[in-house]
Structure 1
Amino acid sequence: MKVLTFKGGTHPPERKDYSNQKPLQKADNPKTVYIPLQQHIGAPAKAIVNVGDQVKIGQKIGEQQGFVSCNVHSSVSGKVIAIKERELPGGHGICIIVENDFKEEIHESIKPKGKLEELTKEDIVNIVKEAGIVGMGGATFPTHVKISPPPDKKIDVVILNGAECEPYLTADHRLMLENPEDVLFGLKVLMKALNVKKGYVAVENNKPDALEALQKAAQKYEDIEVVGLKVKYPQGAEKQLIYACTGREVPSGGLPMDAGAVVNNVATAAQVARTIQTGLPLIDRITTVTGSCVNEPKNLIVKVGTLVSEIVEQCGGLKEDKKVGKFIMGGPMMGIAQYTMDIPVNKGASGILCLDEEESKTPKQQNCLRCGRCVDVCPAFLQPLYISAYSLKNDFEKASEYRALDCIECGSCSFICPARRQLLQSIRNAKREIIASKRK
């Protein structure tokens, strides 16, 4: 098999052996779920239930507000005991808090959506929208928006990201290995929604068992190709994945659709398949619980709204002989460090990572050596050292000239820097300031 890749990138330690041999396991049912109304890029959903209401599994409890927004559904049956602001991954937000009655009652609206050949493009878009499906690799971009490109954008290929190039994370690996049919059927649904005749599932070749399972399952699909990717970070980034699979480059400032492609995560496709087949919206997801401080790393199927602290306890808790230095939602390269475990799992929670103090140390920064290694590894062909330098001087206009907004925030530059410069942090700040200036 030809191994595909892109220019740039780096090779952080994989550390997937904590959990890559751990089969999918259903997490215990939580006594209470804390379901955020903001679990997606775009406007928060609006609560459509009240305190005291009885709700069922799959019932819509939050309604999308605008095109770039998503519905929110209850992951348990029970009573709404509060609607209030609380801690969430990355900040604060309104949650609908439901006390589980453990009756496992499914809402009357939950029904299979019919045969794929009988569904129209409009049917599929509406089903995905109603189910509140988002990008489950961590980006949480509303999927119904992705599969509704403007008429002038001609899409001819759909690519599923099965790279899972972030260190430690193995949720997608186990999904592809154990449920390849869901991944491929979901891809077929997305292809039909976009009227596309070619689909790829792209998997890094450090997952040979998942590649084999997908290739075997894909034999009945002439229009789907399962391809191997070179093991390199950030192999799963949209623009890099498109180049690896098709040789096309997304223009500066452009979107994947400008290269005729739509990219989705394998978990997103699998959720689309389950929604078509069962009618259930996005109410649970696979989350890797891992790291040097976790007693029993696992790949758990977790109900949205379950507290992270409860999930970690189901993995044997934290090791007594180690002190947690950093707790991250997601992977170590692009995940967000948290200050508490008293936060709920949301639709984008691909990983819960607990690192000890030694792994979490932030090295002391030194002056830039002008070695150019950050330029060599940048997958977006940027000059991170200059963008960072102008950001630190608050010269955001100059940072913009150096294409700061094209940064995909993969962190390769910070990882590779021998002077331990925190390049990504300053580039992120520049992006925020540039975007805010444009809005004005």
Structure 2
Amino acid sequence: MLKTFRIGGIHPAENKLSAGKKIENAALPAQVMIPLAQHIGAPCQPIVKKGDKVKVGTLIGKSVGFVSANIHSSVSGTVNKIDKVTDVSGYKRDAVIIDVDGDEWEPTIDRSDTLKRECRLSSKEIVEKIAGAGIVGMGGATFPTHVKLTPPPGLKANILIINGVECEPYLTSDHELMLEKAEEIFVGTEILMKAIDVKKAVIGIENNKKDAIARFAEISKSYPGIEVQPLKVKYPQGGEKQLIDAITGRQVPGGALPISVGAIVQNVGTTFAVYEAVQKNKPLFERIVTVTGKEVKNPCNVRARIGTPFKNLIDIAGGLPGDTGKVISGGPMMGKALPDIDIPVAKGSSGILIIPSSEAKRKAMKDCIRCAKCVNVCPMGLNPTLLMDLTEFQIWDRAEKQKITDCIECGSCSYTCPANRPLLDYIRLGKGKVTGIVRARKN
């Protein structure tokens, strides 16, 4: 029997329209806009200025705190200016704007396709190299990887979990990466195991990716300590706490980190980036992006340089359909609607979803009928309708007691609500407010 997590969950239509589409390279744009905040934590400090020449892989933004991540140039050319640009959040943020001139890479980067398996670096050296390369969680969370690999004092990992779930509808970038770069992902897994000093790793893959499961199961025979775990298809199994529960049976307590139960989770895209950083000296300056939608002519998986306008990738997929109602960065459950399509690709840009007008508008909200569907599907065991009410009436002390900050913002509650109530919208607002109150109290 296939494993899965125990609390809540839903199964929305998968719509994996770009499944099986080989990764294609996006052409270099004439200009890139590289945001200096592409991660959770402190934005980078720019270390280049107008007129500077840069190469592919040149450090252009230096992390200024422990929870931060370096930023590198994705192109070669001349720094045009440092200015504010709109990023995927919809806010204006500092970015390095570079006029592209050729494609000259830093000479330290190994551009060969030769698999390099042996890693002689110490765990400390591995973490330092990952930090230097600016690796972040590429499943969408963008948490700096070197931070996750450095647990708080007194906590020790005993298992590494690699997230190959990709449970968001439509998205297939991780799936295709697993098919095309399987060996590299296994080497990256070994490197991460060495970094955190564990002897066991499990790669979790949902059962709708049978070709990836078969390929990984075969390769795993040559990698002692790494096993492949097929999982029942259920959203949001890609959430760290849900994946840990599914694979190990351990449940992370509310407010606690995965390391509290001895687990560290890394996305397959992050694991591949770790391989490239440690074995090939390649910083994180490009990623795979799924471009898809029901009316899109050519749903595809595209390798794009960071800073490339979304419009360029949409053009590869055949352009915007005439009846486009909304363009989303990410998937339909946790993605965010874009104000325009000139916004640049960032480290956390997993997909571009183009929604037709017929599906882009919300239905009229009705009164709650107390059906408890939202309670039944919540993977964190919360009461979404109560949390919405507490937010609406600003009863923050009770919202905190009801663990509003445990919400992972998966959207399962809103998806299943027959009254079309914007549960997640209110909970997200309330979570932000309560988080601020808690932070102020600690200070």
Whether TM-score is above 0.5 comes out as: yes
Question: Aligned residue for 1:296?
Answer: 298
Question: Aligned residue for 1:395?
Answer: 395
Report the alpha carbon displacement of residue 4 of structure 1 after superposing the two structures with TM: 3.5
For residue 290 of structure 2, give the secondary structure of its aligned residue in structure 1.
strand
Question: Aligned residue for 2:215?
Answer: 213
Does 1:175 find its partner at 2:177?
Answer: yes
Does 1:155 find its partner at 2:157?
Answer: yes
Q: Is the 8 A contact 2:119 2:191 kept in 1?
A: no
- For residues 238-260 of structure 1, give each alpha carbon's deviation from its aligned partner in whole angstroms, at most 9, with x where no partner exists: 00000111010101110101111
In the alignment, the residues of structure 1 paired with residue 66 and residue 304 of structure 2 have an alpha-carbon distance, to the nearest angstrom, of: 27
Does 1:332 find its partner at 2:329?
Answer: no
In the alignment, the residues of structure 1 paired with residue 117 and residue 165 of structure 2 have an alpha-carbon distance, to the nearest angstrom, of: 29
For residue 193 of structure 1, give the secondary structure of its aligned residue in structure 2.
helix
Q: Is the 8 A contact 1:71 1:130 kept in 2?
A: yes
Q: Which moved more, 1:182-191 or 1:165-174?
A: 182-191
Within a 5 Å distance, the mapping from 1:38-117 to structure 2 comes to 38-90=37-89, 91-102=91-102, 104-110=103-109, 116-117=118-119
- For structure 2, which runs of at least 5 residues remain unmatched after alignment? none
Counterpart selection for 1:198 from 200, 214, 226: 200
- For structure 1, which runs of at least 5 residues remain unmatched after alignment? none
In the alignment, the residues of structure 2 paired with residue 68 and residue 214 of structure 1 have an alpha-carbon distance, to the nearest angstrom, of: 32
Counterpart selection for 1:276 from 246, 264, 278: 278
For residue 12 of structure 2, give the secondary structure of its aligned residue in structure 1.
coil
For residue 3 of structure 1, give the secondary structure of its aligned residue in structure 2.
coil
Report the alpha carbon displacement of residue 108 of structure 1 after superposing the two structures with TM: 3.6
Within a 5 Å distance, the mapping from 1:363-402 to structure 2 comes to 363-402=363-402
Does 1:313 find its partner at 2:312?
Answer: no
Q: Is the 8 A contact 1:116 1:189 kept in 2?
A: no
In the alignment, the residues of structure 2 paired with residue 50 and residue 108 of structure 1 have an alpha-carbon distance, to the nearest angstrom, of: 22
Counterpart amino acid of residue 258 in structure 1: S
Counterpart amino acid of residue 316 in structure 2: Q
Q: Is the 8 A contact 1:181 1:217 kept in 2?
A: yes
For residue 49 of structure 1, give the secondary structure of its aligned residue in structure 2.
coil
Report the alpha carbon displacement of residue 439 of structure 1 after superposing the two structures with TM: 2.5
Report the alpha carbon displacement of residue 48 of structure 1 after superposing the two structures with TM: 0.3
- For residues 145-180 of structure 1, give each alpha carbon's deviation from its aligned partner in whole angstroms, at most 9, with x where no partner exists: 000112311210110111100000000010111111
Q: Is the 8 A contact 1:11 1:233 kept in 2?
A: yes
Does 1:24 find its partner at 2:26?
Answer: no
Q: Is the 8 A contact 1:186 1:270 kept in 2?
A: yes
For residue 415 of structure 2, give the secondary structure of its aligned residue in structure 1.
helix
Counterpart amino acid of residue 277 in structure 1: Q
For residue 82 of structure 1, give the secondary structure of its aligned residue in structure 2.
strand
Q: Is the 8 A contact 1:6 1:235 kept in 2?
A: no
Q: Is the 8 A contact 1:154 1:257 kept in 2?
A: yes
Report the alpha carbon displacement of residue 413 of structure 1 after superposing the two structures with TM: 0.4
In the alignment, the residues of structure 2 paired with residue 258 and residue 213 of structure 1 have an alpha-carbon distance, to the nearest angstrom, of: 32
Query: Compared with structure 1, are the counterparts of its residues 75 and 117 closer, same or farther at alpha carbon in structure 2 (3 Å cutoff)?
Result: closer
Question: Aligned residue for 1:125?
Answer: 127
For residue 301 of structure 2, give the secondary structure of its aligned residue in structure 1.
strand
- For residues 24-66 of structure 1, give each alpha carbon's deviation from its aligned partner in whole angstroms, at most 9, with x where no partner exists: 1111111111101000000000100110000001010000010
Counterpart amino acid of residue 384 in structure 1: P
In the alignment, the residues of structure 1 paired with residue 198 and residue 4 of structure 2 have an alpha-carbon distance, to the nearest angstrom, of: 22
Report the alpha carbon displacement of residue 379 of structure 1 after superposing the two structures with TM: 0.5
Counterpart amino acid of residue 356 in structure 1: P
Q: Which moved more, 1:256-265 or 1:292-301?
A: 292-301
Q: Which moved more, 1:27-36 or 1:37-46?
A: 27-36
Query: Compared with structure 1, are the counterparts of its residues 2 and 230 closer, same or farther at alpha carbon in structure 2 (3 Å cutoff)?
Result: closer
Report the alpha carbon displacement of residue 219 of structure 1 after superposing the two structures with TM: 1.0
In the alignment, the residues of structure 2 paired with residue 39 and residue 384 of structure 1 have an alpha-carbon distance, to the nearest angstrom, of: 30
Q: Is the 8 A contact 2:117 2:187 kept in 1?
A: no
Question: Aligned residue for 2:404?
Answer: 404
Counterpart selection for 1:135 from 110, 113, 137: 137
Counterpart amino acid of residue 167 in structure 2: C
For residue 126 of structure 1, give the secondary structure of its aligned residue in structure 2.
helix
Counterpart amino acid of residue 208 in structure 2: N
In the alignment, the residues of structure 2 paired with residue 151 and residue 255 of structure 1 have an alpha-carbon distance, to the nearest angstrom, of: 13
For residue 65 of structure 1, give the secondary structure of its aligned residue in structure 2.
coil
In the alignment, the residues of structure 2 paired with residue 11 and residue 2 of structure 1 have an alpha-carbon distance, to the nearest angstrom, of: 15
Q: Is the 8 A contact 2:4 2:234 kept in 1?
A: no
Q: Is the 8 A contact 1:170 1:288 kept in 2?
A: yes
Counterpart selection for 2:255 from 253, 256, 263: 253
Q: Is the 8 A contact 1:153 1:258 kept in 2?
A: yes
Report the alpha carbon displacement of residue 221 of structure 1 after superposing the two structures with TM: 1.2
For residue 138 of structure 2, give the secondary structure of its aligned residue in structure 1.
coil
Report the alpha carbon displacement of residue 116 of structure 1 after superposing the two structures with TM: 4.3
For residue 429 of structure 2, give the secondary structure of its aligned residue in structure 1.
helix
In the alignment, the residues of structure 1 paired with residue 356 and residue 172 of structure 2 have an alpha-carbon distance, to the nearest angstrom, of: 20
For residue 127 of structure 2, give the secondary structure of its aligned residue in structure 1.
helix
For residue 118 of structure 1, give the secondary structure of its aligned residue in structure 2.
coil
Q: Is the 8 A contact 1:5 1:229 kept in 2?
A: no
Counterpart amino acid of residue 338 in structure 2: Q
Q: What is the Cα-based RMSD across aligned positions, in Å?
A: 1.4
Report the alpha carbon displacement of residue 115 of structure 1 after superposing the two structures with TM: 6.7
